Copies of this chain bind each other. A is one copy, B any other.
Amino acid sequence: MTSDDDQLEVCAMLSERRLEVLRAIVQDYVGTEEPVGSKALTERHRLGVSPATVRNDMAVLEDEGYIAQPHTSAGRIPTDKGYRLFVDRLAGVKPLSTPERRAIQNFLDGAVDLDDVVGRTVRLLAQLTRQVAVVQYPSLTRSTVRHVELLSLAPARLMLVLITDTGRVEQRLVDCQTPFGETSLADLRARLNSRVVGRRFTDVPQLVQDLPESFEPEDRGTVSTVLSTLLETLVEEAEERLMIGGTANLTRFGHDFPLTIRPVLEALEEQVVLLKLLGEANESGMAVRIGHENAYEGLNSTSVVSVGYGSGGETVAKLGVVGPTRMDYPGTMGAVRAVARYVGQILAES
C-alpha cells in the first residue's frame, strides 16, 4: 500500500500540528478507552485551534490510515499504523521514578536462586505495567559451562548434572551397557571438566568429540553414551523455558471479553509462540510489535514489548509484556527496560 513512502508522507501530508493531534488522540484514547472526538480534544489539550480545524486534521489522518472511526459519527481511535507512528516518532521512553527504581532493586535483591530471580522478575514486571509479563530463562546456548558432574547411582546407571554460569542446573539419567568403575568415572569427570568448563555451550561438541578415543576400549561405549546424552541435553534444553505472570490483568482488556481473551490465553500456553514473540526483539534494543505486526493470529489485537537482558554486554535471554494495543507505550517501555537492566545486574553478581 502506502507503507513504502511513509517517510515522504510524514513530511508532506502531516504537519507538526497534525502529529500533535495524533499524539493527543493516542494519549486520550489510552486514558479513557473511548473513541475521542474533536471537541473533547481541544478541551483537554491546548492545541490553540478550534474543533473544526482539528476535524479537518483528523480527516487527513484518517485518509492516511493513522486513525479510524468504529462507526460513522463516533470519535476516532488510533489504528495499528497510528500507534506505530506514535511509538516511532512521537513518544519517548518514560523513565521510572526514583522510588520505583529503588523498589525494583530491593525486590530483586532478595532472590535466592535462579528460579526465584525469574519468578520475582515476572511478578515485578506484571505489577509495574499492569499487564501480562513473560520472562525467558537465561538461555543455554549463549551461556557457558560452570561444571559438569557425574554420579554413579547404580553399577550401570549414571547421573549427569550440568551447571551453567547463570545458575541453571540440568540433569539426566544415563543407562550404560557395561558397568563403569569409579576410577574411570573420576577420570572422565576430570577430563570432561578440564575441556568444557568456562566454554560456551555451542562450542562443547567440538571440544569433546575425540574424548572416547583416549579411554580403554571397554569404557569407550559408556563414554560415548555419556557424551551423547550431554549433547542431547544441550539441544533439548535449547528449547527455552519461560515463566509468565499477571494473567489476571487480562481482565482489564476490554468489554468484548471472551473473544479477545481466549486466543491470548491460548497463546500464553504455547511456549513456542511466546518464544517467537520474544525472539523478535531486536538484538540491540527494545522491540515493540503492535497488533497485526504480530505473526501469531490470536494476538492481533495485542502489542508486545520485549527486550533482551543479560550480564555483561551479552544478551542471554529476553523478557517482555503482552497487553492491549491500547497501552501506555512510554510507561511500559520504561518499565520493561528498567527491569531488564536490573535483572542483568543481579545475574552478573551471582
Contacts and interface: CB of A to CB of B under 8 A. Distances in A.
Interface string A234-252: 0010000100011110110
A49 interface: no
Interface stretch (A205-213, A261-269, A276-284, A333-341): A261-269
B172 A169 contact: no
A251 B258 CA distance: 6
A147 B173 contact: no
Interface of A: 112-113, 115, 146-147, 149, 151, 153, 159, 161, 163, 167, 169-173, 236, 241, 245-248, 250-251, 257-258, 261-262, 265-266, 268-269, 350
Nearest to A149: B149
Contacts of A167: 171
B251 A262 contact: yes
B236 A265 contact: no
A270 to B, nearest CB: 10
Contact of A266 (B248, B262, B266, B268): B248
User: Which of A171, A236, A350 has the most CB atoms of chain B within a 10 A radius of its CB?
Assistant: A171
Contact of A258 (B151, B245, B257): B257
A316 to B, nearest CB: 18
A272 B173 CA distance: 32
B269 A251 contact: no
A158 to B, nearest CB: 11
A216 B116 CA distance: 35
A251 B265 CA distance: 9
B171 A159 contact: no
Contacts of A266: 248
Contacts of A262: 248, 251
